[in-house]
Amino acid sequence: MSTENLDISRRKLLGTVGAAGAAGLALGAAGGAATYATAAGPAGTALATVGSTAVPFRGTHQAGILQPLQARGHLVAFDLAPGAGRKEATALMRRWSAVAERLMAGEPAGDGDTGVALDAGPSSLTVTFGFGASFFDRTGLVARRPAELDPLPAFSSDRLDARRSGGDLWVQIGADDALVAFHALRAVQKEAGAAAKVRWQMNGFNRSPGATAQPMTARNLMGQVDGTRNPKPSEPDFQERVFVPAGGDQPWMAGGSYAVVRRIRMLLDDWEKLPLERQERVIGRRKSDGAPLTGGGETTEIDLDRTGPDGKLVVPDNAHARISAPEQNGGAAMLRRPFSFHDGIGTDGTPDAGLLFIAWQADPRRGFVPVQRKLDRGDALSPFIRHEASGLFAVPGGPGEGEYVGQRLLEA
Amino acid sequence: MSTENLDISRRKLLGTVGAAGAAGLALGAAGGAATYATAAGPAGTALATVGSTAVPFRGTHQAGILQPLQARGHLVAFDLAPGAGRKEATALMRRWSAVAERLMAGEPAGDGDTGVALDAGPSSLTVTFGFGASFFDRTGLVARRPAELDPLPAFSSDRLDARRSGGDLWVQIGADDALVAFHALRAVQKEAGAAAKVRWQMNGFNRSPGATAQPMTARNLMGQVDGTRNPKPSEPDFQERVFVPAGGDQPWMAGGSYAVVRRIRMLLDDWEKLPLERQERVIGRRKSDGAPLTGGGETTEIDLDRTGPDGKLVVPDNAHARISAPEQNGGAAMLRRPFSFHDGIGTDGTPDAGLLFIAWQADPRRGFVPVQRKLDRGDALSPFIRHEASGLFAVPGGPGEGEYVGQRLLEA
Ligand code: HEM
Ligand code: HEM
């Protein structure tokens, strides 16, 4: 009865709904987020778009990769419990898929729903699942472990905390409402039951919808426009850069992607002391609007060869935007879809804040790894950041009708 | 030059703005938040209401008490630096007032602005300042210390962490955008300069605007509708309950209010195991819509005397809504304006989440204290919560034209 009650109360709010129209995609184009038609309920109420936007659970790709950045995010990694193996993992992925589908549609989690999301619509909730390299040992599926999951190399600037790194399983939750996101986090934890234990958990955030006049590229906590040069779905090589094609070594990963997760602390006390001009030379772009230092607007192509009156490169040798550009890395590219984090004040008295960097790519060995290698050697940003935790997860394609996430791995 | 650039870029976004219209007030009525007219900028853009809402810095009361709950909040307490006294505190309050006024109007903080709030409007930002009891010793103003600031009594259920309690100075920051709030937090910290050091800092959140179809009473992380019976500005005793009248012992506090701040951890792993019916009896209200267990809707009066067919009270003896009601406490009332908090997973493995409880009242000895005394003795909620930190701050009235916050204390 409890679930029913909650269910009715929430449905009433949604009114008579039907999927309609594709929401604007911050990434540049292409769909993935359906919006409930603004529906007049019995009391003449209409859910605002922020709440009413629902992202489909099923599709070629899992949700949470192509959708616009959400205002609130939770990352949580689990380890399978001692004794749990393939059977328990299979049951877990079934349970998680079922609950994710319900929640993303704006329905209660099931019996004993906490009620935290009541009144609100789905608020663009996405729940995304991935598998770490250790998952394959634990489940006897080593033969199906993709080579793409080989451990990331150690980088000289790494200051990684093993307890906040890795994990058999990874769940990314994003929503435009903090209570909807928290509700989903608790539901996912509850469904883990005895099968898996939380290994680490992180919270993040981005701009609230409507805080800017129109959708704009995100800013990070250093104040920079961040995401400008992300691959765009409209570009011809977008799919092959971000998603695993069919016909590869591991057929179960077709339509999937690899997520590199790095908790990157920003040394803000130092950064904020740097004059604006020097901050801009660290990136190679203007802070105000993200335009290249070589001129134009945010989307103007950066001219890496241009020299100034002093004969020096306008975009410095070690500028982050130079070193990380695909042109400088044999075409290596990734889709960065981060959350900022801020966990108050660290034990050292400086802000425990930065970027929950999440990079999506078809193969980290042709995405994150070569770029980070280069950044590690000479990025002007390095003195102002610190990689504190790391994860690499295989995120399978989206579930088809009647499927659960990971079924093609676990039941093939 | 740096500030100018940022300034122009942000003004452009705001278009030609003018204060217009009073925003809806979740508390029930009465104004305080002005909304910029939705203005067509050069590119035909219009700031969405979420971003464009600006709260006036000056007024009878400080901002951040009567405004609707914001989606994101920061609480930060400072201690005056060793050697700093009244002179330094005065200069600090001037600096803080100046920066708060700029930020609340959507302007950059000043030279060296971090840029984190760029692109966004003021997003209902409020910055509220208070003084702890220790402030008066430090500044030689003991004669002006209100008796209302006498230490809160110890309660048997207190589990207070002194390092996260108290403080000479307290700043409450709220905004509907997380980056706007973070930007303000950093600006406030920067302006503290050598005069004051951060003592503790906490982050919180509430619903995002637009997540529900229309403005609704908040929910907390236990899933309850929370705030229903708050005093309403339309009620005749609202002013005298919440704000200090003119003509009192401490004239500088006229128009001010006392903030009791409690970090209340929720023992969610235990709470969520409780069946819905038992959860509802803990509060005395329905979880789905906040209606009293004695029937009706959210705003129906609760019938504390009603018994059921079994002869027992429908709203149990120890129900939170019974024990905390003004009728049971000689009229004691307070305005609760909280943020939820969630700092990941605690050292004990349970969620470090709960309520940043903030209660506003003209006198805590006729507000928080008697109610908490009663709750401490027999609240059905007690087994599921833990008071982990505490603060009590004198929040002076809002600054008049040309004044800074606290001027009537520091310069009288
Ligand atoms: C806190 C750490 C970091 C900050 C603050 C940061 C900031 C930025 C900024 C401001 C830009 C320019 C705007 C844009 O195109 O998005 C950028 C570009 C980029 N960054 Fe980072 N970044 C960080 C870490 C990383 C890491 C760890 C990698 C990958 C190893 C990375 C890869 C890239 C790439 C590929 C680009 C686009 C370059 C292009 O296509 O031209 N960044 N970053
Ligand atoms: C995490 C801790 C707490 C939770 C979850 C909580 C929850 C609630 C809920 C659900 C209600 C009923 C709806 C409403 O009128 O707002 C309520 C009412 C109330 N609570 Fe709490 N509360 C907490 C702590 C406190 C504390 C510490 C105090 C003060 C000492 C307090 C004072 C009140 C008052 C005055 C009311 C309104 C009663 C009335 O006027 O009828 N609460 N609370």
Main-chain phi, psi angles of A12, to 5 degrees = -55, -45
- The residue-averaged pLDDT of B160-184 equals 98
Of A168, A166, A334, which is closest to residue A257 (Cα–Cα)? A334
Atom of ligand 2 nearest to the CA of B226: 16
Cα-only R_g, chain B = 21
Residues A204-216: b if buried by 16+ CB within 10 A, e if exposed: bbbbbbbbbbeeb
Reduce the DSSP state of residue A187 to 3 states and report it. Answer: helix
CA distance A284 to A277: 10
Report how far apart, in Å, the C-alpha atoms of A37 and of each of A188, B206, B262 are: 28, 25, 41
Q: Which residues of A touch B77 (CB under 8 A)?
A: none
Atom of ligand 1 nearest to the CA of A322: 41
Catalytic residue among B79, B176, B177, B226: B226
Q: How confident is the model at residue A48 (pLDDT cuts 50, 70, 90)?
A: low
Chain B residue at shortest CA distance from A3: B276
Q: Which runs of E-coded beta strand occur in A295-402?
A: 335-336, 339-345, 351-361, 385-395
Q: What is the pLDDT of residues B84-99, one digit of tens each?
A: 999 999 999 999 999 9
Reduce the DSSP state of residue A263 to 3 states and report it. Answer: strand
Q: What percent of chain A lies above the pLDDT cut of 70?
A: 88
Residue located nearest, by CA, to atom 9 of ligand 1: A226
Q: What is the pLDDT of residues A351-380, one digit of tens each?
A: 999 999 999 999 999 999 999 999 999 999
CB B384 within 8 A of CB B356: no
Q: What is the pLDDT of residues A196-245, one digit of tens each?
A: 999 999 999 999 999 998 889 999 999 999 999 999 999 999 999 999 99
CB B288 within 8 A of CB A115: yes
CA distance A339 to B81: 34
Q: Between B17 and B355, where is the model more confident?
A: B355
- The residue-averaged pLDDT of B376-387 equals 97
Q: DSSP letter for A399, please.
A: P
A356 Cβ inside 6 Å of ligand 1: no
A265 Cβ inside 6 Å of ligand 1: no
Q: Which residues line ligand 2 (CB under 6 A)?
A: B 220, 222, 224-229, 262, 264, 266, 283, 285, 290, 320-321, 324-326, 334, 354-355, 357, 368, 371-372, 375, 381, 385
* B5 touching A (Cβ < 8 Å): yes
- The residue-averaged pLDDT of B152-181 equals 98
- The residue-averaged pLDDT of A5-20 equals 36
Element (DSSP H or E) covering residue A194: none
Residues A41-78: b if buried by 16+ CB within 10 A, e if exposed: beeebbbbbbbbbbbbbbbebbbbbbbbbbbbbbbbbb
Q: How many alpha carbons fall within 13 Å on the CB side of residue B311?
A: 0
Q: What is the mean pLDDT of chain A?
A: 90
Helix axes B276-283, A2-14, angle to 10 degrees: 80
Would you call A288 and B190 a contact, using CB atoms and an 8 Å cutoff? no
* B268 touching A (Cβ < 8 Å): yes
Report how far apart, in Å, the C-alpha atoms of A97 and of each of A58, A86, A93, A130, B62 are: 10, 16, 6, 12, 48
Q: What is the pLDDT of residues A66-123, one digit of tens each?
A: 999 999 999 999 999 999 999 999 999 999 999 999 999 999 999 899 999 999 999 9
* B276 touching A (Cβ < 8 Å): yes
Ligand 2 centroid – CA A262 distance (Å):
40
Chain A residue at shortest CA distance from B119: A212
Q: What is the pLDDT of residues A152-185, one digit of tens each?
A: 999 999 999 999 999 999 999 999 999 999 999 9
Residue located nearest, by CA, to atom 31 of ligand 2: B324
* A7 touching B (Cβ < 8 Å): no
Chain A residue at shortest CA distance from B74: A344
The counts of H helices and E strands in chain A are 11, 12
Main-chain phi, psi angles of A290, to 5 degrees = 75, 5
- The residue-averaged pLDDT of B165-180 equals 98
Q: What is the mean pLDDT of chain B?
A: 90
Q: Which residues of B touch A289 (CB under 8 A)?
A: 9
Would you call A213 and B72 a contact, using CB atoms and an 8 Å cutoff? no
Helix axes B86-104, B178-192, angle to 10 degrees: 160
Interface test mutation site (partner A, options B208, B214, B278, B345, max chain A beta carbons within 10 A): B208
State how far residue A390 is from chain B, nearest Cα, in angstroms: 17
- The residue-averaged pLDDT of B321-346 equals 97
Main-chain phi, psi angles of A189, to 5 degrees = -65, -40
Q: Enter the ipTM.
A: 0.91
Q: What is the pLDDT of residues B180-223, one digit of tens each?
A: 999 999 999 999 999 999 999 999 999 999 999 888 999 999 99
Ligand 1 centroid – CA A126 distance (Å):
24
Q: Is the pLDDT of residue A194 over 90?
A: yes
Q: What is the pLDDT of residue A129?
A: 99
Q: What percent of chain B lies above the pLDDT cut of 90?
A: 87
In testing the pocket of ligand 1, which one of A158, A226, A294, A298 has its CB within 8 Å of the most ligand atoms? A226
Q: Is the pLDDT of residue A314 over 90?
A: yes
Of A310, A289, A308, A312, which is closest to residue A299 (Cα–Cα)? A289
- Least confident segment among A38-42, A190-194, B335-339, B344-348: A38-42
Would you call A207 and B45 a contact, using CB atoms and an 8 Å cutoff? no
Q: What is the pLDDT of residues B282-316, one digit of tens each?
A: 999 999 999 999 999 999 999 999 999 999 999 99
Would you call A119 and B216 a contact, using CB atoms and an 8 Å cutoff? yes
Q: What is the pLDDT of residues B9-63, one digit of tens each?
A: 443 444 323 222 223 233 322 333 333 323 333 332 334 689 999 999 999 999 9
Which residues are paired to A339 by β-bridges?
Answer: A356
Of A151, A184, A268, which is closest to residue A220 (Cα–Cα)? A268
Of B80, B255, B76, which is closest to residue B173 (Cα–Cα)? B76
Residue B7 annotated as catalytic: no
Q: Which of A203, A211, A287 faces B342 most closely, judged by CB atoms?
A: A203
Structure tokens at A7: 């269910």
Q: What is the pLDDT of residue B213?
A: 86
Residue located nearest, by CA, to atom 42 of ligand 2: B324
DSSP letter string, B16-51 = S--EEEEPP-TTSS----EEE-----TTS----HHH
The structure tokens 């800013």 sit at: A219
CA distance A277 to A312: 15
* B293 touching A (Cβ < 8 Å): no
Q: What is the pLDDT of residue A44?
A: 28
CA distance A264 to A295: 29
Q: Which residues of B touch A72 (CB under 8 A)?
A: 205, 208
Contacts of B204 (CB under 8 A, 6+ apart): B72, B73, B74, B75, B338, B339, B340, B341, B356
- The residue-averaged pLDDT of B347-361 equals 97
Q: What is the pLDDT of residue B48?
A: 61
* B343 touching A (Cβ < 8 Å): yes
DSSP letter string, B380-401 = TTGGGEEEEEEEEEEEPPPP-T
Residue located nearest, by CA, to atom 9 of ligand 2: B226
Main-chain phi, psi angles of B223, to 5 degrees = 90, 5
Is the pTM higher than 0.90? The answer reads: yes
Structure tokens at A323: 């070193």
